[in-house]
Structure 1
């Protein structure tokens, strides 16, 4: 799978059944994503790993995400770990902001327990982590209009954890921007408006390959 996330192609997207990849449109070009089986062997998702992508792909996605971010008119961009931090600096820069605020999973000795929330992800469902904000940079957040940036919105757990943590920081979360919206979702259940560059389904295995659910 070394060729994934490295460049765009001009060829049209394939239709189901899918073998090992699913193609999405980004700015009129196609990007191939590997299909990865979940622990439930008959289910799978399309995968985007931003820290393994080429600069060409990251730059194009960041540009698209920054364009979506404009409508939220945020005062500050907050990046979610780990892969949301790949996009957040470029989006903040494109919006003309002097910096961004990174959240983290790694607890520093000066962090406070009352400024953390538990979190689980679809790719590591058995590992509970905590999402932290550095108390030394609370001044960048308090009373500001905040835009949350992540790589993927799937189950919504990461964004809901971010909403819970940022509520402790006395901020107004105006929305979120992600590169990929993964699987079926109900916007009414989102903690705030979520904009995405492209969407991918979840997949079910059949005898002839992978088919989108629903």
Structure 2
């Protein structure tokens, strides 16, 4: 199998646009996978995700979800699955994480019956405070140096609240760890985490509550980290 180009495997223009029945897929459900991975959704349909190389490791790849490139119908469906899975967590409010988590958080919050949500951000406004900001990195931007902020005017609404944290995906848990640290500064209690995609399992080691117990992490679907084999890619 040829080594994939450094920028990825396929153009993603045609991905994330539709949910498919199993008989409409043009790939094996159990691999080996070539260019895409079929992620199974709770209703039995599939969302085909493009494969992307892992930096500095040509024998590993992951399935990618770029929420703001997806069709509205796909986002609507994923939000519905996320809200259904998160409802038993009985949160008091929803916090959305930038950037791609903000494609899901408003609709998840609305579906759960809330009239608003609290967005975190990467852009600092002049009235923001240093004590309400934490550094953050992620799998997709490992070398980036950026800060995660909450508007001081919204931070007070989180004190004592049971918060559902919404993001597009969780993989290593680095971004989510930063969000949990910021929520702790706000005096919030984390009821759980809702993402569209749980990627791999590395996040399980780091997403714990103050007592060291695993936090509930619900998702619309799961996708594995994949390793190279002779005729494609298989889950690690």
- Class of the TM-score when normalised by the shorter of the 2 chains: over 0.9
When the two structures are superposed, what TM-score results if normalisation uses the length of structure 2? Answer: 0.87
Q: Is residue 221 of structure 2 the alignment partner of residue 210 of structure 1? A: no
Listed one character per residue, the Cα deviations across residues 88-116 of structure 1 (whole Å, up to 9, x for unaligned) are 00011111111000000111111111111
For 1:36, the equivalent position in structure 2 comes to 52
In the alignment, the residues of structure 2 paired with residue 99 and residue 186 of structure 1 have an alpha-carbon distance, to the nearest angstrom, of 28
Match in the other structure for 2:14: 3
- Distance in 1 (alpha carbons) for counterparts of 2:230 and 2:141: 28
Alpha-carbon spacing, 1:186–1:37, altered in 2? closer, same or farther (3 Å): closer
Corresponding residue of 1:23: 38
Query: 2:154 matched to 1:137?
Result: yes
Q: Which consecutive unaligned segments of at least 5 residues does structure 1 have?
A: none
Q: Distance in 1 between matches of 2:89 and 2:99?
A: 23
Is the contact made by 1:143 and 1:172 (CA closer than 8 Å) also made in structure 2?
A: yes
Deviation at 1:156, TM superposition (A): 0.5
Structure 2, unaligned runs of 5 or more = 1-11, 209-214
Matches for 1:64-213 after TM superposition, within 5 Å: 64-185=81-202, 187=204, 189-191=206-208, 192-213=215-236
Q: TM-score under structure 1 normalisation?
A: 0.95
RMSD of Structure 2 on Structure 1 (CA): 1.3
Residue 70 of structure 1: SS of its match in structure 2? helix
User: Is 1:55 matched with 2:66?
Assistant: no
**Partner secondary structure for residue 31 of structure 1:** strand
Conserved 8 A contact 1:36-1:45: yes
Q: Which runs of 4+ in 1 moved over 4 A?
A: none
CA distance in 2, matches of 1:186, 1:111: 29
